[in-house]
Amino acid sequence: MFMQGFISNVEGEVSREVEIERHPLQPFLPVNARILMLGSFPPQQKRWSMDFFYPNFQNDMWRILGWLFKADKNAFVDLAHKCFKKDELTVFLRDVGIAFYDTAVAVRRLQGNASDAFLEIVEPTDIQRILDALPHCRAVAATGQKAADTLCVALAVTMPAIGGFTMCKLGERQFRLYRMPSSSRAYPMKLEKKSEFYRTMFVEMGYGLEKVCSSHE
């Protein structure tokens, strides 16, 4: 299996206070994906509402995609059970071609919480290896500041503006690196405004959202 042994659960202790935590999820890599979305690292499992990326019910990633692709921010939300509709999400993501993973496979939580500000990356993700599994991918999107910082260092590129991109080269592969606003509610921007940044990226990458988004106006 892809990256077997490279991803596991909590492994060992660095000290009595801070453990090294390894990524609990396998990369989600539809072969038709044109965009790879990379966050920083999942929150602690006590905050999960499903076993998939962006599992915290207070995170708005799946509301943003519902708003953009379905004209309904709750399209992938199970309001009654306060969770997301994982099965519908994975079918949708495979259909449209969007991949997901994170920029770290091993971290230390210096404050024992989900804040990126206190997340120390011990082992960054091998971006080359991920992209090798995505032959049609032409863009990588950092979905928060920590992810953007990590990618810019790894790729030796200048940080793009929020909503913007810079061209990157990895081996023989050229692609866009987008910097998106965080979907966390701790990021001070309304969902509708965040969605506009994501909409621009998806339209530029050929996802054909113009008709869907016009229904919002």
Contact 119, 109 (CB under 8 A): yes
Provide the CA 33 distance to its chain's centre, in angstroms.
13
In whole angstroms, what is the distance from residue 127 CA to residue 181 CA? 21
pLDDT band at 17 (very low <50, low <70, confident <90, very high): low
pLDDT band at 161 (very low <50, low <70, confident <90, very high): very high
Residue 60: closest CA among 74, 71, 46, 80? 74
Crossing angle of helices 191-204/61-70, nearest 10°?
60
Contact 213, 68 (CB under 8 A): yes
Position 116 scores a pLDDT of: 73
Position 6 scores a pLDDT of: 37
The pTM assigned to this predicted structure is 0.87
Find the distance separating the first CA and the last CA of the chain, reported in whole Å.
Answer: 45
At the topology level, CATH places domain 21-205 in Uracil-DNA Glycosylase, subunit E (3.40.470)
| Contacts of range 2-8, beta carbons closer than 8 Å, 24 or more positions apart | 2/26, 2/27, 2/29, 2/133, 3/27, 3/129, 6/105, 6/126, 7/105
Position 118 scores a pLDDT of: 79
Position 114 scores a pLDDT of: 59
Instruction: List the domain boundaries for the chain.
Output: 21-205
* Model confidence at 11: pLDDT above 60: no
Position 135 scores a pLDDT of: 97
- 196-217 per-position pLDDT tens digit: 999 999 999 999 875 554 445 4
* Model confidence at 10: pLDDT above 50: no
